[in-house]
Amino acid sequence: MPWAPSLDLHLSFRLDGLGAIYGLLATGIGALVFAYGTRYMTLHLEHERRGAVERWRFWPWMLLFAMAMVGLATAQDLVLVFVFFDLTAVCSYYLIGFDRSDSKARTSAVMALLVTVVSAVAMLIGAVLLYAAYGTFAIPELIERVGPSETTTVAAALIAVAALAKSAQVPLHFWLPRAMAAPTPVSAYLHSAAMVAAGVLVIGRVHRLLERSELVMTGLLVIGALSIVVGGVLALRRDRLKQVLAYSTISQYGYMVLLYGMGSSTSNGAAAFYVMAHAVAKSALFMTAGAVTMATGEDRLSKLGGLGRRMPVLAVASAVAAASLAALPLTIGFFKDELFFAAAWEEGSVTTVLAVVAAALTLAYIGRFWVTLFLGAEKGQVTERSVVMVAPVAFLAAVTVVGGLVTEPFARLAASGGEVTAGRPVEVDPGYHLELSPENLMAIAAWTLGGLLLAAPRLTTVLSRTLARAGDLFGPRRGYEAMLHGLDRASAGVHGLEVRDLRSSIAAVLVPAGLLVGLAFAATPTDGAFALGHVSGADWVILPLLGLITVVTLVIARSRSRLAIALALSVVGFALAAVYALIGAPDVALVAVMVETMLALVFVAALARLPQEEPDEDRGSVVRRKRRRRDVVAGSIAGLAAFVTVWGFLSKPAAESVSDDHIRLAPEAHGGDVVTAIVADFRGLDTLVEITVLLVAVIGVATLMRRGKTW
């Protein structure tokens, strides 16, 4: 469907495999999150002592969020993708900053918005680059047309940057843990099915464009691996529940980016499967965290423990979700890692080792999360129980287990999603194989290593703390903050330069404009472009008049007395009127005389009302003399630019104009004077507007002169 045909934009949607996966996630998990949110938001608003009406600042954005996600999942046009991409960012801004009285929530919201939106602009640039080279924004057509070239590499890299920032990959990951300031339903949704998933979705959608560039694919591999390690290690020792899950998300999306970076058909299918398995597990875990926080009023692991006996349903349900994330058997998560291991094994030894380490890290941090929360000595008071908040978790756990037993529907969805990504049929065939396959060996190795990490908290503490400290010292967040402060300062500086002082802002317009004009003239060929013109008839009278005008103008510029300026101005005006009369423009001459008379009177009258003392500018201090010299230079540059411009365009008169038509048609407009006919008839609307302007000015003058009674 055409949208803006002049820009070659189309509203094209198609529900293909990839669209189906993300659309299902956005709506399915969305529905659960919405159900969960009805209870959560009521409690949340009660805790914050805000009116229940405030929830209307929440639900519309959530709804828009879900719609934007579905739109993004099905969009087939790069610009459309960009629009929905930004729409999710805007929604997330309002949702993260929902607790607007909390300054932390506000800064987090701004951070999320800036990081994702600024990098999304990279995607737009990439799209425009591709359009310039291949003439279409439609993704399917682009995939067919694009070949490997430098433009492709740059465009692909730009699109990838936008997607990676959205998926919170290192080094643009820092916004995600901060975004935990949002209410829990938002976090659950944002991490599993929306916002963060959008980045991976885009990578999956344009994967065959990215594939054209070896460099971009390698970049995906490296960034994915980095994110897995950084996110995983940092998640090991976080204290706040949602922080653990946030870093886990960075790490988990690292898996998917890594899988896309491998680029084989196995890995593409695996990535699609991974998205689903992760979304189910992660949203359940987030809702667990929210339910626990709501029940106890605590959000730190160190202050919670032994909740298993008091909240048994939640404990079991979240155990299933955690097991799924850690890829234990009988859950859907087992297969996500099986597929991941298979793809990594196919790729080489480095990725194999990395995959094992990644899975071990996941097991370690999620194990710690669940064990600390539900086992051990009892800590924290359970004051609030809500079925509505536990039921969605239980439902997701049930889905996880069903997925672990009956993989068929998930596998088929993943296969169709992978097919869209890879552009060829993809086989996704998860299943339990009780043999010594490399995947199983890797899984066992990962569990062992993860168990060891879980059993050695001191080692993980040191590791995680060191990395966190290094991140604080040299991390990209510092760069972001420095950039923000720098921008702030630059803006204040420009503001100071531009606005505080009118003179410098005028000079800032005049001088660069003059220099640009000069440059343009220097750059264009000027052979025969300038004509001197010839002098004939009345011109001999006009020439001395113009000379007079020039001299008097210079006098005005130099004059010290205001009265002299006023008088000299009217000399210039009347001389010009005489010029107009000689040129054969009696109407203009008459009006000019009228206007000049009025102006002279008004000017002198105004002078009479001004204070007598003349400002003694240009005399005295060195600074003033220097300023004056600067003013002269600026004025000369402006004058020179005007000279070159006017001379240039007067030398090349138009071949024809509407004037002849005007002259021919004037009798029909019942006008003997053609100029009058033009003003009153042919350009009547102009004149009407002009009269309006005049009226407005008169009202302004009258108000100002009435001793400012309206002020």
Partner 1 sequence: MIIAFALATAVLFGSGAYLLLKRDLVRMVAGIMLISQAAVLTIIASSLNRGQAVIHVGPDDDPSDPLPQALALTALVIGLATVALLLAMVHRVVVVFRTSEQDALAATEAEVEARLERKRQADREEVEGVEGAKEDDAEAIEHEELGRVR
Kindly identify the residues of this chain, within the stretch 527-566, that bind partner 1 according to CB under 8 A.
531-535, 538-539, 542-543, 546, 549-550, 553-554, 556-557, 562, 565-566
State the DSSP string of 535-565.
Answer: --TTHHHHHHHHHHHHHHHHHHHH---HHHH
Only one of the segments 298-306, 322-330, 516-524, 693-701 lies at the binding site for partner 1 (rule: CB under 8 A); that segment is: 693-701
Question: Which residue from 157, 510, 567, 669 is in contact with partner 1, where contact means CB under 8 A?
Answer: 510
Please state the separation of Cα 252 from the chain's center in Å.
24
Residue among 451 and 648 whose Cβ is closer to partner 1: 648
Question: Which whole-number Å values give the CA distances from 56 to 70, 86, 95, in the listed order?
Answer: 22, 22, 12
- For partner 1, the binding residues in 367-386 under the rule CB under 8 A are 383
């239980």: which residue's tokens? Answer: 394
- For partner 1, the binding residues in 20-79 under the rule CB under 8 A are 49
Only one of the segments 248-256, 317-325, 362-370, 665-673 lies at the binding site for partner 1 (rule: CB under 8 A); that segment is: 665-673
Question: Which residue from 230, 236, 572, 578 is in contact with partner 1, where contact means CB under 8 A?
Answer: 572
Residue among 350 and 564 whose Cβ is closer to partner 1: 564
Q: Does 622 bind partner 1 (CB under 8 A)?
A: no
- For partner 1, the binding residues in 270-329 under the rule CB under 8 A are none
Question: Minimal distance in Å, beta carbon 556 to partner 1?
Answer: 6
What is the distance between the alpha carbons of residues 625 and 151, in angstroms, rounded to a whole number? 54
What is the distance between the alpha carbons of residues 251 and 318, in angstroms, rounded to a whole number? 19
- For partner 1, the binding residues in 480-509 under the rule CB under 8 A are 500-503, 506-507
Q: Does 625 bind partner 1 (CB under 8 A)?
A: no
Residue among 313 and 599 whose Cβ is closer to partner 1: 599
Total residues in contact with partner 1, by rule CB under 8 A? 98
Is residue 206 within 8 A of residue 153, CB to CB? The reply is no
- For residues 199-211, one letter each, b for 16 or more C-beta atoms within 10 angstroms of the residue's C-beta and e for the rest, the string is bbbbbbbbbbbbb
What is the distance between the alpha carbons of residues 71 and 504, in angstroms, rounded to a whole number? 49
Residue among 458 and 707 whose Cβ is closer to partner 1: 707
State the DSSP string of 122-163.
Answer: HHHHHHHHHHHHHS--BHHHHHHH--SSHHHHHHHHHHHHHH
What is the distance between the alpha carbons of residues 133 and 138, in angstroms, rounded to a whole number? 13
Using only C-alpha atoms, the chain has a radius of gyration, in whole angstroms, of: 36
Residue among 429 and 618 whose Cβ is closer to partner 1: 618
Question: Which residue from 621, 654, 685, 709 is in contact with partner 1, where contact means CB under 8 A?
Answer: 654
Q: Does 621 bind partner 1 (CB under 8 A)?
A: no
Question: Which residue from 455, 482, 632, 688 is in contact with partner 1, where contact means CB under 8 A?
Answer: 632
Q: Does 647 bind partner 1 (CB under 8 A)?
A: yes
């978790």: which residue's tokens? Answer: 393
Contacts with partner 1, 584-603, as mask; x by CB under 8 A: xxxxx--xx--x--xx--xx
Residue among 38 and 103 whose Cβ is closer to partner 1: 103
Residue among 15 and 509 whose Cβ is closer to partner 1: 509
CA dihedral 646, 649, 655, 658 (to 10 degrees): -50
Is residue 262 within 8 A of residue 221, CB to CB? The reply is yes
What is the distance between the alpha carbons of residues 155 and 133, in angstroms, rounded to a whole number? 10
Question: Which residue from 67, 157, 441, 675 is in contact with partner 1, where contact means CB under 8 A?
Answer: 675
Q: Does 678 bind partner 1 (CB under 8 A)?
A: yes
Token representation of residue 32: 């659960």
Q: Does 583 bind partner 1 (CB under 8 A)?
A: yes
